[in-house]
């Protein structure tokens, strides 16, 4: 699915909106690529500055630190994913089909359409979430960041997911916990499949079909008893 979407980002994520300049877009696009290449721990603004032919000071005019850039990128992905979910289930009426559609969207690796990417790549963001997603909130500043509503897109996606669970089974007591667990598991199982295969039952699978079947099974078994 190719969607042209303009996502309004939380202004507390940046000092200057990167979407408003060529350099800003380059910082975000190449920053995403470089974090995926080096890993977040080894990524620095100095290395990014060399990569894009600018100065560290120029990058710091857009982002306070590399963690804010990371959260910006991951937040963009959750916002895009929620839009994708909303777009895909808009004309569906059966909650079971809606739930299966959501699971497929959150678990299936997106197409790497490099030619169609001029700002942020969904595919690169997907890889970033697989490797670095939890680092956005597993910090000592999580409460402040939460008060600044930096995690709202992630919570909105979980809320939309949990609302469909409640549609399917209004008596189910743990819709938010189940939604966030499946959302996290969709990415952790992909990470395990690629790096710690003994922790999965599908280490040699070429695609994500069995991960999707596993998540569907987990969901249906949890909410089947109406």
- Beta carbons of 142 and 121 less than 8 angstroms apart: no
Residue 108 lies in a domain: yes
Question: Of 167, 8, 181, 183, nearest to 83 (Cα)?
Answer: 8
Residue 168 lies in a domain: yes
Residue 16 lies in a domain: no
Residue 59 lies in a domain: no
Residue 7 lies in a domain: no
Q: Which residue has the higher pLDDT, 140 or 114?
A: 140
- Percent of the chain scored above 90 by pLDDT? 88
pLDDT range class, residue 116, cuts 50, 70, 90? very low
Residue 37 lies in a domain: no
Q: 16-30, pLDDT tens digit by residue?
A: 999 999 999 999 999
Q: 191-209, pLDDT tens digit by residue?
A: 999 999 999 999 888 889 9
Residue 100 lies in a domain: yes
Question: Of 161, 192, 190, nearest to 178 (Cα)?
Answer: 161
Question: Of 67, 64, 73, nearest to 30 (Cα)?
Answer: 73
Q: Which residue has the higher pLDDT, 2 or 206?
A: 206
Question: Of 225, 148, 138, 220, nearest to 184 (Cα)?
Answer: 138
Mean pLDDT of the chain: 93
Judged by average pLDDT, the poorest of 19-23, 103-107, 115-119, 155-159 is 115-119
Instruction: Give the per-residue pLDDT at 205.
Output: 85
Report angle CA 86, 14, 120 to the nearest 5 degrees: 50
Consecutive H or E run containing 91: none
Structural domain of residue 80, as residue ranges? Answer: 74-223
Instruction: Give the per-residue pLDDT at 134.
Output: 94
Residue 176 lies in a domain: yes
Domain count, the chain: 1
Q: Which whole number is the average pLDDT over 64-69?
A: 97
CA–CA gap between residue 182 and residue 197 (Å, rounded)? 19
pLDDT range class, residue 112, cuts 50, 70, 90? confident
Instruction: Give the per-residue pLDDT at 66.
Output: 97
């Amino acid at each position: 699915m190719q969607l042209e979407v303009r996502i309004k980002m939380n202004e507390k994520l940046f000092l200057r909106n990167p979407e408003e300049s060529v350099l800003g877009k380059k910082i975000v696009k190449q920053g995403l690529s470089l974090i995926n290449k080096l890993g977040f721990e080894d990524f620095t603004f100095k290395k990014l500055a060399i990569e894009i032919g600018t100065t560290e000071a120029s990058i710091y005019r857009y982002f306070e630190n590399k963690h804010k850039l990371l959260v910006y990128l991951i937040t963009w992905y959750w916002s895009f994913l929620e839009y994708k979910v909303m777009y895909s289930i808009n004309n569906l009426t059966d909650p079971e089909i809606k739930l299966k559609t959501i699971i497929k969207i959150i678990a299936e690796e997106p197409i790497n359409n490099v030619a169609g990417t001029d700002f942020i790549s969904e595919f690169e963001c997907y890889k970033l979430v697989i490797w670095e997603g939890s680092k956005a909130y597993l910090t000592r500043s999580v409460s402040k960041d939460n008060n600044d509503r930096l995690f709202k897109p992630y919570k909105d996606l979980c809320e939309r997911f949990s609302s469909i669970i409640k549609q399917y089974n209004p008596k189910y007591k743990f819709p938010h916990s189940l939604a966030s667990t499946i959302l996290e598991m969709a990415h952790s199982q992909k990470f395990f499949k690629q790096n710690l295969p003994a922790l999965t039952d599908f280490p040699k699978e070429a695609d994500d079909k069995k991960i999707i079947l596993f998540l569907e099974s987990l969901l249906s078994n949890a909410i089947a008893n109406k």
